[in-house]
Chains A and B, each alone.
Chain A
Amino acid sequence: MPIDRRGFLRVGALAVLPALGGRLGQDTTAAAPLYQPDLAGRPRERVTDYQNDPFIIGIERRLRCTCGCNLDIYTCRTTDFTCTYSPALHRELVDLVEQHLSADEVVAAFVAKYGQQSLMAPPKEGFNWAGYLLPGVAITLVGSVLGWVLLRRARAPVAVGDAAVTGVLSTDDEARLRTELDKLES
């Protein structure tokens, strides 16, 4: 059937408009679904302000994740994305902060619940002082003794025999001297 120019334009418009309308009406802020969502790691929730809050992060850095990773809660929840413990601990911590607890009170609440092991560093009390002080005390003590001994020895007069020259070089001495000279600059 022959088609006139007006009819051609009408058909063309009918064909294009729905597509155009669909495009114009698309929500550009919506993210398209993934092809294989199950293979893109553990599903994540949108990031909240709390997750970047320096106050919260500061507390999280003092507390250890209980998953056995040896990391603090912040590092674990932002590193091991398969861990289910650290996000839960973060939420627990946020709940406490929302109750207007101070950082130390939050930490104390965690210690009360999970034990002293939940701290990233042992509290400075009792036997733990040995942990903090022993290396420094040992170095200072040994250093002081070393310094004292060095000064004492350095002040003592050197015996004359120490550097006395006894005669002309023997063959052995000459060989030794040659070795020493080789070493001197190497």
Chain B
Amino acid sequence: MTILGQLALWLALLLSAWGAVVGYLGGRRGDPALIQSARRTTYALMGLLTVASLALVVALLKNDFNVTYVASYSSRNLPTAYKLSAFYGGQAGSLLFWAWVLTLFAAAAQWVTGRRYAYLLPYVAAVTSVVTLFFVSVTLFGANPFERLDFTPMDGRGLNPQLQNPGMVIHPPMLYLGYVSITIPFAFAVAALLSRRLDVGWLHAIRKWTLLSWVFLSVGITLGMWWAYVELGWGGYWAWDPVENASFLPWLTMTAFLHSVMIQEKRGMLKRWNVILVGFSFALSIFGTFITRSGIISSVHSFAQSPVGTFFAWFLLLGGVFMAWLTWSRWDLLQTEARLESALSREASFFFNNLLLVGMAFSVLWGTVFPMISELVRGTQVTVGPPFFNQVNIPIGLALLALTGIGPLIAWRKASPGHLRRQFLAPVGVALVVGAVLAARGMSDAYALLALVLAAFVTATIGLEFWRGVGARHRLHGEHYALAFARLVGRNRRRYGGYIVHLGIVTYFVGFTGAAFKTELEASLKPGESVTMQSPYGEALTFTHLGVSQYEALNRFVSAASVEIQRDGERIGILTSEKRQHVDSFGRASFEPSTEAAIKSDLREDLYVVYAGSVDGTEEAVYKFTINPLVMWVWLGGAILVLGGMVTMWPGGGPTDRAAQRALEGYRTQLAATETAAS
């Protein structure tokens, strides 16, 4: 089966080169035969990469330990779900997975894109084929998952215990889907540049793709945070680790793109900027892989490293030069169609939103690579950890949060002072009241206080928008409020879906503020002994050690330590944290012991208990207790954001034909009146 996989990869290598050539020539000459060939090549590549992927999955499921990759990342007693996730748990497999997902997206782009954008599709096929060619080359020559050993071991090494977590089954594919799907908007941008058709057509063609990619990235990042929180046992979810930063960078630039694209669609502005942004987003998705796979920057998330960094470095360099030349050569075609009419307009607020998003991306990138730069310049390597990133990025994040509320309330083109007063009076009032209440209750952390005040402001602006929309429908159409709400959102999915996304961002920020009030305590307890912590809400939380039990599970030996928890003397439950010693099918320890945190979550706080180990081999357990306020809001924010994204992407919506006809008639009348007045 692996021979078939290897063969499929070689064929994919040749075919992707073919697809790149015929795609470009087909687009340039408009030759239907070449265009058809490019399209079919895309489908064939999907088929070949599917075969290669299936070959690896079968090898994993059949425990073919003669295959180096299977022996390195799987074992006989590994649960089936994790055997499947081992497909992307290692370097070579993850690259193959990337290539496979790319071909799926490339084929889908050819399949679903409307005929009116057919002129772009051959070029799109060429670009996706080039990217496929790169990934297949890296897979074949840098990290081949089908390489075989000289001997067949009795059992494999198994999957890293930290990757044996449900979050890790879903998180990497989501993140990869996000990274890989950026290729499609990028391919359309390149296609528009190559075809010199730089109107809004390519933006319409990629609208859904851009959102899809952004939602996948958001889900992937949030799931990664959740995985780090529940699995790594440190009671946090974001540490500004290089791998985390690598996923955050394209998210930031894609978020900027999602906003700036609206300006091009509505006003014909920022054409150059949009092309640059989508190019950067694609480059950053590759750059993230480069810095984490090459080993030049170490990370707690890097489970797979090999010398594929060189491939990525060259691809980035050549791709960057090509993109720079292409944009430069079409510079004149990317001239703006309209001019900004006022600094007090939504366009201006979007400019600043883009500045902050890209500025934040720059600061994260700068912090991530600064150790390398320092070593190059001074010969001294420095560590750039959370203190640096927090210092630089929290103020930018708060400014962005403020703009999340300001932007949607300012009118397009030009806002009058009266309009601004009407729009902002109520939200600012709400924010000030919230700030006063929090300050009166003794909240002293300046950043947390500011974040919550801004969160209240943005929530009020979003609430106001919904309230006005629903009220208008209720008045005009006599609809019940619930129906008016449903129709408001249903008929204006992009706008109100966007507001829901903003609400998700606000919820994230509320969750982030909880980190300022995190409380931690280490304690060694004998059975029956207790320790008490003061929660940020002023309650006494008592943890009583119940004992340690030990038992064998499927592929591990478990030591489980339990604590009973009381809040102000009232029992609220028992939490059991585990120490797991994974073993192979012969009962031999296969990895260092891992820790499973026990978490009790509600909207107010998480109680996070970690069993660190035992004293003198007895039931006297060493614990780390953490009270983590508002963490659930982070996951809730992710869910709201995805909901908003889905509302925005959902097909249909928009005004009915009758409404459009009415508007058209109204516009004609207005034009006729203007003409009469002019003559």
Write the residues of chain A forming the contact surface with B, with a CB cutoff of 8 angstroms: 28-47, 51-52, 61-62, 64, 68-72, 75, 78-79, 81-82, 115-122, 126-128, 131-132, 134-136, 138-139, 142-143, 146-147, 150-151, 153-154, 156, 158, 162, 165, 167-169, 174, 177-178, 181-186
Contacts and interface: CB of A to CB of B under 8 A. Distances in A.
Contacts of A134: 366
Contact of B383 (A38, A121, A182): A121
B391 interface: yes
Interface in B604-655: 610, 612-620, 622, 624, 653-655
Interface SS majority for chain B: mixed
Shortest 5 CB-CB contacts between residues of A and residues of B: A37-B617, A135-B363, A139-B359, A120-B385, A31-B618
Contact of A122 (B232, B370, B589, B660): B370
A139 B559 contact: no
Interface string B375-396: 0011011111111100110001
Interface residues of B, number: 92
Interface of B: 232-234, 236, 239, 241-242, 265-266, 298-300, 338-343, 348, 351-352, 355-356, 359, 362-363, 366-367, 370, 374, 377-378, 380-388, 391-392, 396, 491-495, 520-524, 526-528, 548, 550, 557, 559, 579, 581, 589, 592-593, 595, 610, 612-620, 622, 624, 653-655, 660, 663-664, 667-668, 671-672, 674-675, 678
A39 B675 CA distance: 87
Contact of A121 (B381, B384, B616, B617): B384
B362 A120 contact: no
Contacts of B522: 47, 51-52, 78
B615 A42 contact: no
B568 to A, nearest CB: 22
A181 B664 contact: yes
B364 to A, nearest CB: 9
Find the residue from B351, B352, B385, B396 having the highest chain A CB count within 10 A. B385
Contacts of B523: 47, 52
Contact of A40 (B299, B341, B384, B548): B548
A182 B382 contact: no
A116 B388 contact: no
11 contacts: A33-B618, A41-B613, A122-B384, A128-B374, A131-B388, A142-B355, A142-B359, A162-B338, A168-B671, A181-B660, A183-B266
Contacts of A45: 524, 615, 622
B671 A165 contact: yes
Contact of B491 (A116, A162, A174, A185): A185
A34 B234 contact: no
Nearest to B614: A40
A162 B339 CA distance: 9
A44 B265 CA distance: 62
Contacts of A61: 387
A143 B354 CA distance: 10
B385 A82 contact: no
A158 B613 contact: no
B387 A121 contact: yes
A46 B524 contact: yes
Given A40-B614, A132-B391, 17 more contacts: A31-B620, A34-B614, A37-B618, A40-B548, A41-B593, A41-B613, A70-B239, A71-B234, A78-B520, A117-B382, A126-B378, A135-B359, A135-B362, A135-B396, A181-B655, A181-B663, A185-B495
A70 B298 CA distance: 8
Nearest to A38: B617
A175 B616 CA distance: 81
